[in-house]
């Protein structure tokens, strides 16, 4: 049977599990799937399309004969092994931050900048989850009305920090309900010095702090948005700033997005009409019937849900909206597989 030989690196992780599902459901012809992870996870049994598959340790030779390698095992793994995969003829779609800011490497959301894929040299970077769902909604607005400025505050799910963080949320939550002390060992950032409970709390730190007082997650939202929408991570054409906050939700990020457009005639109705027709977007915007996007409803969907679109009553050309998407699917596994599907349609993916 003719089809692509696919490797999933980081198959035992929270995103890896979704990557397996997305490859099961992909429109790409798949000949074989190889599940890769660290030596610690090697030997584990997972399933692909109902059949057992053994996880193998990632080594350079793992990528012999691989056409498509999906990476989500941390930046250091990508830096070490993505070039090995490319050397052996694979296209790499990398879901870590390892290559995102490399100007030679496309950073792609298929609804926004598929053309950037043409310039790839083997590696395509998948943006950060919180960026993806924002630009999917902002790009149709930018195209129709121009975009001057974005101010976003996020309400991010715990799954973005991995399976251990999710277990920590469950453990802390049960401890709280039982009147016991909550123990934090992972969040807000597993590698940082201090850890705080996320259950019944809101943590205004995702990723480590930069010198300017922004977290690296906020930095990513600012500069990835510019690279994806304007092909320049430092572009001044759209002003972007962000506050990133973790809340006790397992899956699906929510975002409060304030934006200013160039077109002085743009109305809420115009923006709703544009978003209703935009790819990857589901408009849920009917306050009279209490219809608006919710994390609880977005889990498991590949779409980005947008609602609560309304004008700033005092600043012309300024609007607000509420944007929710499954951070593990559109924010990670689905966007990665969607990149591969888009590359195939553009003739950029090949069987060896």
**Rule CB under 8 A: which residues touch its own copies?**
149, 151, 153, 155, 170, 173-174, 177, 188, 192-194, 196-197, 200-205, 209, 212-214, 222, 236, 239-241, 243, 245, 247-250, 254, 256, 258, 268, 287-290, 292-296, 307-315, 318, 320, 322, 324
Structural contact between residues 195 and 186, judged by C-beta atoms closer than 8 angstroms: yes
> What residues have CB less than 8 Å from 342, skipping those under 6 apart?
108, 110, 114, 117
Q: What tokens does 165 get?
A: 């963080």
In the annotation, is 129 catalytic? yes
- Of 38 and 173, the one with the shorter C-beta distance to its own copies is 173
Nearer to its own copies, 34 or 223 (CB): 223
Which residue in 323, 123, 130 sits closest to 244, CA to CA?
A: 130
Q: Taking the complex as a whole, how short is the minimal distance between the CB of residue 46 and its own copies, in angstroms?
A: 22
Which of the residues 253, 289, 296, 350 is marked catalytic? Answer: 253
Q: Could you tell me the smallest distance in angstroms from the CB atom of residue 254 to its own copies?
A: 5
Determine which one of 120, 129, 223, 244 is catalytic.
Answer: 129
Kindly give the residue spans of alpha helices, DSSP state H, lying in 161-294: 163-177, 216-230, 268-277
Question: Minimum distance between the CB of residue 173 and its own copies, rounded to whole angstroms?
Answer: 6
Closest to its own copies by CB, 23 or 240: 240
For 13, phi then psi, to 5°, come to -85, 180
Nearer to its own copies, 71 or 214 (CB): 214
Pick out the residues of the known binding site for NADP(+).
Answer: 12-15, 40-41, 159-160, 327
- 185 assigned to active site: no
Q: What's the chain's Rg over C-alpha atoms?
A: 20
Q: Contact, 168 vs 176, CB < 8 A? A: no
**Calculated CA dihedral for residues 41, 45, 48, 49, nearest 10 degrees:** -160
**Whether the Cβ atoms of residue 87 and residue 70 lie closer than 8 Å to each other:** no
**Cβ atoms within 10 Å of 29's Cβ, excluding its own:** 11
Cα gap 76→10, rounded to integer Å: 12
For the CB of residue 132, give the shortest distance to its own copies in the complex, in Å: 18
Nearer to its own copies, 41 or 284 (CB): 284
The nearest distance, CB 319 to its own copies, in angstroms, is 10
Contact 131, 221 (CB under 8 A): yes
Q: Is-contact 261 317, C-beta < 8 A?
A: yes
Catalytic positions: 129, 253
């Amino acid at each position: 049977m003719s089809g692509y030989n696919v490797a999933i690196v980081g198959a035992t992780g929270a995103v890896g599990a979704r990557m397996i599902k997305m490859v099961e459901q992909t429109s790409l012809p798949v000949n074989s799937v190889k599940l890769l992870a660290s030596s610690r996870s090697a030997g584990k049994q997972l399933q692909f399309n109902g059949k057992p598959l053994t996880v193998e340790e990632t080594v350079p030779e793992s990528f012999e004969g691989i056409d498509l390698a999906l990476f989500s095992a941390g930046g250091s793994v990508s830096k070490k092994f993505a070039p090995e995969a490319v050397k052996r003829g694979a296209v790499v779609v990398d879901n870590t931050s390892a290559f995102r800011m490399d100007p030679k490497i496309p950073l792609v959301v298929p609804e926004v900048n598929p053309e950037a894929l043409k310039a790839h040299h083997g590696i395509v970077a998948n943006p950060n989850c919180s960026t993806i769902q924002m630009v999917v909604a902002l790009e149709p607005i930018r195209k129709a009305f121009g975009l001057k400025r974005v101010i976003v505050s996020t309400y991010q799910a715990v799954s973005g920090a991995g399976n251990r963080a999710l277990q920590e949320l469950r453990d802390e939550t049960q401890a709280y309900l039982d009147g016991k002390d909550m123990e934090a060992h992972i969040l807000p950032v597993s590698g940082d010095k201090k850890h705080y409970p996320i259950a019944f709390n809101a943590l205004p730190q995702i990723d480590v702090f930069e010198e300017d007082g922004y977290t690296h997650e906020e930095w990513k939202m600012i500069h990835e948005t510019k690279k994806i929408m304007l092909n320049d991570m430092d572009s001044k054409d759209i002003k972007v700033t962000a506050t990133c906050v973790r809340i006790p939700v397992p899956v699906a990020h929510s975002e409060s997005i304030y934006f200013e457009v160039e077109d002085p005639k743009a109305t809420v109705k115009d923006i709703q009409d544009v978003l209703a027709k935009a790819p990857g977007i589901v408009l849920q915007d009917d306050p009279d019937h209490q219809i608006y996007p919710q994390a609880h409803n977005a889990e498991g969907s590949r779409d980005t849900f947008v609602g609560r679109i309304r004008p700033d009553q005092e600043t012309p050309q300024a609007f607000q909206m509420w944007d929710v998407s499954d951070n593990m699917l559109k924010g990670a596994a689905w966007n990665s597989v969607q990149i591969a599907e888009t590359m195939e349609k553009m003739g950029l993916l090949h069987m060896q």
